[in-house]
A and B are shown apart, each in its own frame.
Chain A
Amino acid sequence: MKPSRLTLGLALLILAAVVGAVLLGESVFDRGQWAQAFADPGSGPGEVLWQVRAPRVATALMVGAALGLAGAVMQGLLRNPLADPGVLGVSAVAALGAASAIVLGAAAVPGAVEVSALVGAGLAGALLILFSSRVRSPEALILFGVALSSFAGAATALIFNLSPSPIASAEVMGWLLGSVQNRSWIDVAWVTPPVLVSAVLAAFAAPGLRMLSLGEETARTSGLPMARLRLLALLAAALATGAAVAVAGVIGFVGLAAPHLVRGAVRGDPGRLLAPAALAGGLMLIIADLLARLTPTDQELKLGVFTALVGAPLFALIAWRAAREWRL
């Protein structure tokens, strides 16, 4: 499949955003320091650029792409512009996994929190797959996801409530708010492979998502192996969400908004939407993180808080337009 002009345009914008986000920040360099940063990555300014800002930007890109992809897949699967990893409870269960690991004192073990989050997302994905194999109505699946999300939220609150250590509580809180602050190249190495695998799975599922535009029954009689394609799509969404939450905590609304931004440009096609939605998600999160970083506050703004502040009104707007346009 050759990349469309939209995909290429988004990739160029991402390139520009990456360069901007690496060059801009709290530390202001003079000309000599800039030269030093590029000539010697081990120097002070070099460390800031290549060990602090660059991995942070790369993490934001991968997490945003994962969320955008997961949102696009879920919206196609459920034929609903309001579906995203948050709505379906995948993020909440992943966060519950991470919170459990932190409170159980596993945070010191490298990778424990990340793996717990991935396991949580996988569990949520498995529950959704199980449920969707019994009940085919997309509305019912959304209700199930909402219930799952509420339950996981309550369980996380319970952990918070019963946590013996205020430090662990603060750490869980930090996780729930979502951030890509202080992420290293190790985090980038963590998040990248599952996101790439998820992208491949989603690409295989794309014809099924396109066929689902016509509704469940037409898709089932289309000759495509819909059961397998639905499974691939759900796996892709769960994997991408798990990877994103594992590395950055809960960041809402990117999965919802990114597909919405590019849907018009692909004329609604849920199959062709996947790559641009992933790129748009990455671009959005790089820019959001840069804005959060540059906003002059005593405590740095948490990225998840920032995206929610912008995203929630957008959610309402999409719901409003969906009510007028898509629910024919």
Chain B
Amino acid sequence: MAGRPGVETVTAFLTMCDADASLGGRTVLDGADVQVETGELVAVVGPNGAGKSSLIRAFAGLLPLTRGVVRLRGDDITTLSSRDRAARVAYLPQERRIAWNLPAIEIAALGAPFLSAADAAAAARAALEEVEADHLADRGVAEMSGGERARVLLARALATGARGLLVDEPIAGLDPDAQLMVLERLQARARGGQAVLVSLHDLTLAARYADRVVVLDQARVVADGRPLDALSPEVMAQVFGLKGRWITGPDGPLLAAGRRQLAG
């Protein structure tokens, strides 16, 4: 298939080459190479502090690199105007605080700030339906549960119409059904031709939904490949300190894991 790592990687929609970045004196990206094709859902996994959020923020243009380059649809991100950037990638941060008690429909409509009010509202309504939150359209976000608010914010990102989706821990704190719903939607978006980069903590869900998994450890990419290849028992032991193996469940791979016994 065209565009797999090593084949025509130059044409990948999201490209990061040999990227270094630091935050407050700490290295958060160290020689990172990551590509995401259109039509592909790539999951970034790694322990806390491994650099998952930094990787996603660098693709969003929020984290300046000290070395290397990020390209969006082939163009160096630092040469793009903020509007061009927004037209290519939408970013959904982990932080879900909304300052004011706006109704869901207006939050979702913020995804389309350059459309007319009517078109933005239509895009917002469609996006809310997509995340099964259309019944929340007129409810204020302060009156919602954390999970409902997460759906509304995802709808905002989907309403942008940007080809690239950068999604930082979208299922953290959601109930199991909502977790599956969110990942299904992102997968559907990838199937529809978008390039989706999502950070996850749940390795089973990463293996089930992602086309490819990028494993980060201490700011470096230590594995990148098909989920079960990237998340090999060796990687799980080395990166996560887990003694794990994959078993085949009815709906896909399942991780059976325990904490690794430390020698001595």
Contact = CB atoms under 8 A, between A and B. Distances in A.
A269 B86 contact: no
A215 B97 contact: yes
Nearest to B93: A217
B98 A213 contact: yes
Contacts of B125: none
Given A214-B156, A217-B62, A325-B142, A268 B101 contact: yes
Interface in B107-129: 107, 110, 113-114
Interface string B203-219: 00000000000000000
Interface in B52-110: 57, 60-62, 82-83, 85-87, 89-93, 95, 97-103, 106-107, 110
Contact of A222 (B98, B103, B113): B113
Nearest to A272: B106
Interface stretch (A31-39, A88-96, A204-212, A300-308): A204-212
Contacts of B86: 221-223
Main secondary structure of the interface of B (DSSP, over half): mixed
A226 B82 contact: yes
B99 A218 contact: no
Contacts of B100: 79, 213, 263, 268-270, 326
Nearest to A207: B113
B89 to A, nearest CB: 7
B140 A267 contact: yes
Nearest to A223: B86
Chain A interface size band reads 20 to 34
A206 to B, nearest CB: 11
A282 to B, nearest CB: 23
A213 B141 CA distance: 11
B101 A223 contact: no
Contacts of A326: 99-101, 142
Given A211-B113, A268-B140, A79 B62 contact: no
Contacts of A42: none
A210 B91 CA distance: 17
Given A210-B110, A211-B113, A220 B102 contact: no
A224 B82 contact: yes
B127 to A, nearest CB: 14
B97 A225 contact: no
Contact of A211 (B95, B110, B149): B110
Contact of B85 (A79, A214, A223, A267): A223
B13 to A, nearest CB: 16
A186 interface: no
A113 B206 CA distance: 66
Contacts of B98: 213-215, 328
Contacts of A217: 57, 60, 62, 91, 93, 95
Interface in A208-245: 210-215, 217-218, 220-226
A221 B58 CA distance: 11
A292 to B, nearest CB: 32
B99 A212 contact: yes
Nearest to B89: A221
Contacts of A221: 60-62, 82, 85-86, 89-91
Interface in B149-196: 149, 153, 156
Nearest to A218: B93
Contacts of A80: 99
A274 to B, nearest CB: 13
Interface in A34-83: 79-80
Given A218-B91, A222-B110, A328 B85 contact: no
Contacts of B89: 221
A203 B16 CA distance: 39
Contacts of B149: 328
A269 B92 CA distance: 20
A190 B61 CA distance: 45
A213 B61 contact: no
Interface string A78-120: 0110000000000000000000000000000000000000000
Interface of B: 57, 60-62, 82-83, 85-87, 89-93, 95, 97-103, 106-107, 110, 113-114, 140, 142, 149, 153, 156
27 contacts: A211-B110, A213-B99, A213-B102, A213-B107, A214-B107, A214-B110, A214-B156, A215-B95, A215-B97, A217-B91, A217-B95, A218-B93, A221-B82, A221-B89, A221-B90, A221-B91, A223-B83, A223-B85, A225-B83, A226-B82, A267-B103, A267-B140, A268-B100, A269-B102, A270-B100, A325-B142, A328-B149
Interface of A: 79-80, 207, 210-215, 217-218, 220-226, 263, 267-270, 325-326, 328
Given A217-B60, A218-B93, A267-B103, 13 more contacts: A207-B113, A213-B99, A213-B102, A214-B110, A214-B153, A215-B97, A217-B62, A221-B60, A222-B110, A223-B114, A224-B82, A269-B100, A269-B102
